[in-house]
Amino acid sequence: MAPDPTSDPVHDLAGAASHDTAVAVPLAPGMGRRRFLTVAAGTAGAVCATAYLRPGWLVGTAHAAEVAAPSTSNVLVVLFLRGGADGLSLLAPVGDPTYPVQRPDIAVPARAALPVDATFGLHPAAPNLKRLLDDGRLAVVPAAGSPNPTRSHFEAQDLIEKGTPTNAMTVDGWLGRYLRASATTPAATLRGYSSGPGLPASTRGATVVASPDLSSLRLQSTERWASSTAQMSTALAAMYASGASVLRAPAASGLDLVTAVGSVVDDAEPPADWPSGFGPALWPIAKLVSAGLPVEVATADLGGWDTHEEMGSATDRNGRMSKLVADLDASLGAFFGALGPAADRVTVVVMSEFGRRIAQNGSGGLDHGHGQVMLVAGGGVSPGVKGAWVPLTDTDDGDVRVLNDYRLVLAEVLARRMRPVDMSLVFPGFDAGAPRWLGVTA
Amino acid sequence: MDPGTTTDTEAPSRRTLDRRSLLVAGGVAVVAAACAAPSSTSEPASPSTTPAPGPTTTTTRPPASTTTTAAPAAPTTPGTPGTPAVDPLADGDAQFLHHARRLAFSPTPEVLVELRRLGTTGWIDSQLAWSTIDDSAADAMVAAGYPRALWTPERIADDVTPWRAPFDLATATVVRATWGRRPLYELLVDFWGNHLNIDANRWPLITHMPAFHRDVIRAHATGTFSDMLVASAQHPAMLIYLDQASSRADGDQPPIENYARELLELHTVGLGGGYDETDVKEVAYLLSGWTVADARSGGFAFRSDWHDMGPLAAGGDVLGWAPGGLTGRAAGESFLRHLARHPNTANRLAHKAAVRFIGEHVTPTDAVVTSAAKAYTDNDTAIVPMIRTLLTSSAFRSSANLKARRPFEYLVACLRGARARWEPDMAADFLWYCNARLDLLGQRPHRWPAPNGYPDANRAWLNAGAMVNRWNLASEIARGAWWGASFVDPPGVLGNPAPATVGQAVDRLADAVLGEPLDAASRRAILTTTGLTQDAPWESWYPANSLLAYVLQSPQAQMR
């Protein structure tokens, strides 16, 4: 990956917390004090904090805070359902007579499905998706996916995220290429944000921030009597201006990040009724976007979709698949709610590496399949079922056929909602032109 | 950053002396004493080419092919302490440092003393003969603080807090890496644990995970891969994790393909290793009926009533294996051992280990990989000859500093650098910190959510958020904020007698943490924060924790 090598090694410290406001990680009561005492023991016990007030030890060089104007850019959020989410449960073809026959134990019953059109219904555990649909804010694309026939999780994810499903040699990801092709000046550190500990392959090739929660975007000073956050930033910038080259760009971005995020992370906890399962992955995105930070592309991984066995009845709230769908649905509902007025700026794409087989296996589950369902929700969406579909009797080796290339969905959302780019840079070798779009945007 | 350029501002013998005195000053807690052990008994600083005394006993077969490989070990001419080595690949301070960083988590004084005493090859051999190294101190820490890492599935299931089992196991992993005396073995355990990764995230997986770790990974990490593969295929944890336990071919629906696919794609020949979708389906049939004897107590069971040989019964082969009259469990085991011996498996494992221990630049066709694969094959899938070939190669010896520490390694290096001491009465607090912070950094042991194991590419671990997390971890450890590791004792790390100047204090900390001087930019940056000159007298009340934090945060501390 090639993070922006041109970023200025001298970091503006505007907004960095002063030493007084630097907050340590929560510790059990008494701990901090005890360590204080241990370390201070043997020195003049009466040395008070002011004794350390010599230049440098304490006083940082924080500049006056520069308040950036809140971002008004549109935002693309890509939620990747890891493991191969079963599209025929999320968006059930209840009007297809083959469907219940192939899935005697796990099909969504027509009477329970939340109606979409004559063929499809949403899973009964997805009331928020239904509401988005009724509000004109949800498009669904059945028979979506990659032309590559692989049924391997890792190969499929890798190729889909590279955005070149027939070329495994690509080194960067489609979001990375988009971010590069549409780079802004000056570069905004938070343009790309990944909610989670690591970066998904789709973001390779651009400088993207990853964090598993909000509070970890804050730089902690050692102790209030030792070194301020601003001082630490200055020292780290100097240390990492040289040093191993693989570290230089991530370190520079890290320091930019601390500055950019500023006080937004002070209120880092989600509300008490925030959904648990997938909710925590969406909370930082909701918070950063609604606070007006310059996030334009955000990603999150939602795992657990590799349902080889015991998926349970679609009408049993405690069934394995029902719980997964309910979790996704509740998290998306809470996410759009928390965005407030910013919701109109945000378009969410939900995708997976592949769908699952049409027929259930001997253990009440589904093995790896091909065609999947993509969801496009939020601002700028043209609601309803989009793209081609054929009856389930017309299969790809027992799997849903891929009739709607996933890149057409992504390219349309990028082109209609995001900064203008040459789409052939984002999806090289693929005709993602407007005539082929599926109409997921209004 | 290149150790060749760090040539010494301070004589190594002097450094050793400093470290020794630190140890004397620091060795208090009973459990901590053992990790400071071996240096005191041997001549300190004379590198030697003689093999490790003694360690020829229990480990597998002799590493036969390693001396004939295309990647011969660099000459092991002893470097004289205090004299810069002429050949950077020859034994000497630069190589000792490289070996300690790459193969022992971090260059503690104890490790460097052992390396000087045994020479690099002797040290590697002694480490590979891990069972001859007394590790009772770390064992005692695990038994006292994290006993669920040692319990049977049944005992965990019966416990009032069975959910603690994965936390105990993860913390035991930290303890063994930080305070144990078998670092290379622990790194191999980590490698194989990731190769056969299981995400212990659900019931009853959590009850079986410690047994899997012990009986499959630890038991076979220096044995043969063939045995490890069969053991994993028959272990309840793997059978449950990849759904094989409930795969049956006796109904009108096909068996589950999950384990069959990952067996081929991840555990053995790899993607593009010569199989197709039809083979996956055939292997699923071949292994149908492989299940768990008892979900509580564990054990493997072959249920012939769930089994159906499927298409292979009618002829054909998978990757050159055909049943040839074998049926049932015997057929499955024969196939697994065939897979373990397959040339594509040999090359893939050798390459994966080379990337892990040498660097991402190594390609599957590099001589060091083909040599290691040959050693594996020539010794019927024995792991030690393969690993030894890699670690004694010139490719390894010229790979210093190419790999970023993954979060687990960084955490361990911080604890070791700060001379952490584990406190038995606060074992639960230490557990909480280890697990919470490794979660935050994205590498809690045994919790990678997919069967392919934690990524082993620098770019997977280095990004803006990750750097901030690392810096915060360093601050937290340096200021002694971890309950249960009361350690962090900057005055102790600083040495005794106390440093005379601020500059000397910084240098002592660098030496204790990094085993080498800081690069000029880092040293200057740290001194700048003090607002003092390097010659200013050191006062005992100066916040040494702050300086220690900077050293732990430095670029050098991120690399291994």
Phi, psi of A145 (to 5 degrees): 145, -160
CB B210 within 8 A of CB B156: yes
What CA dihedral angle connects A359, A363, A369 and A375, to 10 degrees? 90
> B394 to chain A, minimum CA–CA distance in Å?
22
| Chain A residues in contact with B531 (beta carbon < 8 A) | 54-57
pTM, rounded to two decimals: 0.73
pLDDT of residue B136: 97
pLDDT of residue A67: 46
CATH of domain A75-214+268-436: 3.40.720
Tokens of B89: 């690949």
pLDDT of residue A225: 34
What CA dihedral angle connects A86, A89, A90 and A94, to 10 degrees? 140
Average pLDDT value for residue range A163-188: 86
Q: Count other C-beta atoms under 10 Å from residue B228's C-beta.
A: 23
DSSP helix/strand/coil, B148: helix
pLDDT of residue A196: 84
pLDDT of residue B200: 82
What is the ipTM metric for this complex? Answer: 0.81
Nearest alpha carbon to residue A406 among A364, A436, A367, A369: A436
C-alpha dist (Å) from residue A242 to A219, B205, B508, B533, B548 = 21, 46, 21, 22, 20
- Which one of B257, B461, B467 has the shortest CB-CB distance to A254? B467
Note whether B243 contacts A: Cβ–Cβ < 8 A.
yes
Nearest alpha carbon to residue B198 among B170, B168, B161: B170
pLDDT of residue A65: 36
> A40 to chain B, minimum CA–CA distance in Å?
7
CB A328 within 8 A of CB A381: no
Who's near A82: CB < 8 A, 6+ residues apart?
Answer: A153, A157, A301, A302, A303, A304, A305, A306, A352, A353, B449, B450
pLDDT of residue A226: 41
Least confident range of A1-5, A373-377, B262-266, B501-505: A1-5
In this model, does residue A399 exceed pLDDT 90? yes
- Give the ranges where B78-131 is alpha helix by DSSP (H): 93-103, 109-128
More confident call, B204 vs A19: B204
pLDDT of residue A15: 25
pLDDT of residue B32: 31
Nearest-angstrom CA–CA distance, B421 and B22: 13
The residues spanned by each domain of chain A are: 75-214+268-436
CA B88-B92-B93 angle, to 5 degrees, is 100
> B555 to chain A, minimum CA–CA distance in Å?
6
DSSP string over B395-407:
HHHT-TT-SBPPH
pLDDT averaged over chain B?
85
Give me the amino acid identity at B505: A
Average pLDDT value for residue range A92-105: 97
Phi, psi of A168 (to 5 degrees): -75, -10
The model's confidence at residue A227, banded by pLDDT at 50, 70 and 90, is low
Nearest-angstrom CA–CA distance, B183 and B169: 17
pLDDT of residue B19: 32
Nearest-angstrom CA–CA distance, A106 and A361: 11
- Profile chain B (560 residues) by mean pLDDT over runs of 10 residues: 33 32 29 31 34 34 38 42 68 97 96 98 98 97 97 95 92 97 98 94 88 98 98 97 92 90 97 95 97 94 95 95 95 98 98 98 98 98 98 97 96 93 90 88 85 90 87 88 63 82 95 95 92 91 88 96
In this model, does residue A362 exceed pLDDT 50? yes
Cβ of A43 and B550 within 8 Å? no
Q: What percentage of chain A reaches a pLDDT higher than 70?
A: 82
pLDDT of residue A424: 96
Tokens of B457: 């590419």
Q: Roughly how many angstroms between the first and final C-alpha of chain A, as a whole number?
A: 35
More confident call, B57 vs A142: A142
What's chain B's Rg over C-alpha atoms?
Answer: 25
Q: Count other C-beta atoms under 10 Å from residue A352's C-beta.
A: 28
The model's confidence at residue A27, banded by pLDDT at 50, 70 and 90, is very low
pLDDT of residue A386: 98
Nearest alpha carbon to residue B202 among B173, B245, B247: B245
| Chain A residues in contact with B460 (beta carbon < 8 A) | 198-199
Note whether B546 contacts A: Cβ–Cβ < 8 A.
yes
Cβ of B253 and A360 within 8 Å? yes
Who's near B370: CB < 8 A, 6+ residues apart?
Answer: B70, B347, B350
In this model, does residue A297 exceed pLDDT 90? yes
Helix B520-530 vs helix B544-553: crossing angle, to nearest 10 = 150
